[in-house]
């Protein structure tokens, strides 16, 4: 994608974040909010805020970039006519949203479908006014300032001293997934649940007292696509559980503060013990 074309879409990503954020703020901490649980997914909810925010983003994309495809959480996908597609999750962390906790985010990704290359990713937290932007090949930004990942070059940190995070233990569904999660939990002395997309942006920022490993499964593309450029743009690593690049069919995600920790975690995941 040409620079000027990408710049146009970066601008559009910020407009999408502003637009969805204004809608979401209207419904945050509202009693008796219309919501429902998705029967086909583990511990997954959707609210009227999710639907309205997504629909507004879709309408703007169709107006500004009508040939771009859209992969979305709540509605029907729109096929791409030019090889590019937006990947949208209006509220990642709906369980936090409905509890009135500002640790959710709107995920906005743009991917080159022909090369399986996420071109940009935006995470927007409208309540705290926090925004992350990652563009492939460039340093990631937090509120328009370059992020410094303090653990990027800390290659001597042992896996045992890392914080292992996952949104919920319920996401490890199969016996294999449960066994892998259990192995890593035994190696990493610190384990934390909850967080959704905030696990990944916290990893990128280095906000934690020690480096992080994020281990998750039962995910969809819209759950992690926007996070890939952000994590990679700070020197972090994000792949599937085999160490391969993530794609639209991936469901298992492993992210780490640096390459060394990622390799240590992969060794545990792939072990037969």
Write out the binding residues for Mg(2+).
73, 89, 91-92, 223
Query: What Cα–Cα distance (Å) separates residue 118 from each residue in 1, 8, 72, 167, 177?
Result: 11, 16, 15, 23, 26
- Write out the two tokens for 43: 């511990």
Binding site residue list: 73, 89, 91-92, 223
- Residue 12's beta-bridge partner residues? none
- Write out the two tokens for 6: 């990408």
């Amino acid at each position: 994608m040409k620079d000027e074309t990408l710049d146009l879409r970066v601008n559009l990503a910020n407009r999408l974040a502003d637009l969805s954020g204004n809608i979401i703020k209207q419904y945050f901490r509202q009693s008796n909010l219309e919501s429902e649980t998705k029967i086909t997914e583990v511990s997954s909810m959707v609210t009227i805020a999710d639907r309205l925010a997504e629909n507004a983003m879709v309408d703007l994309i169709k107006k500004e970039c009508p040939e771009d495809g859209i992969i979305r959480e709540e509605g029907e996908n729109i096929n791409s006519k030019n090889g590019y597609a937006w990947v949208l999750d209006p509220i990642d962390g709906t369980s936090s949203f409905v509890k009135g906790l500002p640790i959710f985010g709107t995920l906005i990704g743009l991917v080159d479908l022909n090369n399986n290359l996420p071109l940009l990713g935006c995470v927007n937290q409208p309540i705290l006014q926090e925004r992350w932007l990652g563009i492939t090949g460039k340093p990631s930004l937090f509120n328009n300032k370059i992020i410094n990942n303090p653990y990027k070059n800390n290659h001597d940190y042992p896996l045992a001293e890392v914080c292992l995070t996952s949104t919920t233990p319920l996401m490890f569904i199969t016996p294999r997934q449960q066994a892998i999660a259990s192995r890593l939990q035994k190696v990493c002395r610190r384990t934390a649940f909850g967080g959704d997309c905030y696990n990944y942006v916290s990893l990128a920022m280095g906000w934690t007292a020690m480096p992080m490993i994020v281990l998750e499964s039962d995910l969809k593309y819209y759950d992690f696509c926007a996070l890939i450029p952000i994590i990679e743009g700070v020197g972090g690593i994000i792949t599937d559980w085999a160490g391969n690049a993530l794609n639209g069919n991936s469901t298992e995600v492993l992210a780490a503060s640096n390459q060394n920790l990622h390799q240590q975690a992969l060794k545990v995941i792939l072990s037969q013990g």
